[in-house]
Chain A
Amino acid sequence: MNSPIEISSPQYYQRILTWSPFTLRGGLLPVVLCLAAITFFPQRTRAQESPYFVTYDHYLEEPGSLEVEYFSNFATQRAGQDFHSYWLEFEYGATAWWTTELYLDGQTTFGDSTIFTGFRLENRLRLLKREHVVNPVLYVEYEQISEADKIMKEIEGHDVEADHGVPNAILRQGHNHELELKLLLSSTHNGWNFALNPLATKPLTGGDPWEFGYALGVSRPLALKASAKRCSFCRENFVAGVEMYGGLGDRPSFGLSETSHYVAPVVAWNLPSSWTLRLSPGFGLNDNSHKFLLRWGISREFSGFGATVASWFGGHR
């Protein structure tokens, strides 16, 4: 195993600058899938996507639309190797009140290895049929991931930086089968979105206790009115905000002790061609947290996906 590189050293920055997801074995999969999706589902629509990486607002995928998303998470690691984790997300709007998703996770730990770390099945169900001051959405997720999973899509229980300092060969021997429940509470007022997501996770094997966590976020488009002309750089295409997330311990030891927490500015750029780019530098708030995270993502929405698939099986398009 390579020795850790100091954050201030030239090698450290060279490693970041020369890294590319497309040179990695695991990075080729999203490219192939995206090209296939663009080929087979050329219809376009423009999404108004939120900038959050961890927090959810109450807006679901439009019915019949498929959003294909690729996200990255680079993290510094004290007493271990920095890593880059990534996930591919297929988000489908089954109805106006139900969105279902499949995640495929992987990670590269520098100087160690690149591995597939598991999958997640997620469902979000809108509970109320109209808009209210606070809008609740029920989130249910099944995870089958190895302990080498480092995407940090949520922070729960006593998740701390040291968990990620172990070599992949050891981490991947442990497996987690978990049920994760969240209550997504979200409110939009005068263009501002406020979201709070308390979460609870229950391992389905091993008898481990319930674990808890939270995420909260606030965001706003840079302009509230749309311009009359099609444009890529109009202020209304940018949504900026900040999110915060962390663990709250488990059932026997609920609280902030031995937990990690992050704050992260977020920005999304919604392009007229239905692509969305997201960027978020994240900062650990205590000694149990990774010092620095850099998340970025690219996504594209394919409207009419459900109708296209139905037409393959003799349904009406």
Chain B
Amino acid sequence: MIRFTLRPASAVLCSLALMCVGAAQAGQSAAGDKSVYAELGKAPAKAAARQNPLEPDPDAVAAGAKLFTAHCAECHGADADGGKKGPSLRATEVQQATPGTLFWLLTNGVVRKGMPVWSRLPEPQRWQLVSYLKSLEHSAHGSAQNSN
């Protein structure tokens, strides 16, 4: 009979090996990948047509900025200009997307390309994030740079 035995040191090594594989996987990120923006086009029409219920809320942008710093800046950059792992959110494709489309993408993520689902954030918080994203001005760090 085969007896499975792993000593604690072996377990730690196995785990570190798994983490190294994971780190390599994480390196294959969506940064600079123009096809990531194409995900926006996959939002169902009904989802894309949804209006932001917090649009009139004067605090929504500030709350969204706080949430962005907490959850999104690590990958997309502190100014949403894009980072090593995530594309710029000031790009034309993002800024021209409807609020419903951005909400849909936040909810579903782009799991195969490294963006996790964010449905763990309650709906109002996702709409606050959308309010913040839509408040960003289109900058020179937009899609033109990312597509290069």
Contacts and interface: CB of A to CB of B under 8 A. Distances in A.
Nearest to A175: B5
A300 interface: no
B124 A225 contact: yes
B85 A63 contact: yes
B111 A64 contact: no
Given A63-B114, A272-B70, A190 B15 contact: no
Given A131-B119, A144-B11, A205-B4, A100 B18 contact: yes
Contacts of B74: 43, 45, 62, 65, 303-304
A247 interface: no
B63 A225 contact: yes
A142 B67 CA distance: 36
Contact of B15 (A50, A100, A144, A204): A100
B76 to A, nearest CB: 12
B70 A307 contact: no
A119 B11 CA distance: 8
Contact of A94 (B22, B84, B85): B22
Contacts, number: 164
A190 B123 CA distance: 7
Interface of B: 1, 3-6, 8, 11-12, 14-15, 18-27, 29, 54, 59, 62-64, 66-67, 70-71, 74, 84-85, 107-117, 119-125, 128
Mostly, the B contact residues are helix
A102 B11 contact: yes
The 4 A-B residue pairs with the shortest CB-CB distance in the complex, in nearest-first order: A94-B22, A306-B23, A228-B62, A224-B122
Mostly, the A contact residues are loop
Contacts of B114: 63, 95-96
A48 B120 contact: yes
A84 interface: no
Interface residues on A, range: 35 or more
A226 B62 CA distance: 10
A295 interface: no
A224 B125 contact: yes
A97 B112 CA distance: 7
Contacts of B20: 309
A236 B125 contact: yes
B71 A45 contact: yes
Given A46-B71, A226-B67, A310 B19 contact: no
A307 B125 contact: no
A186 B74 CA distance: 26
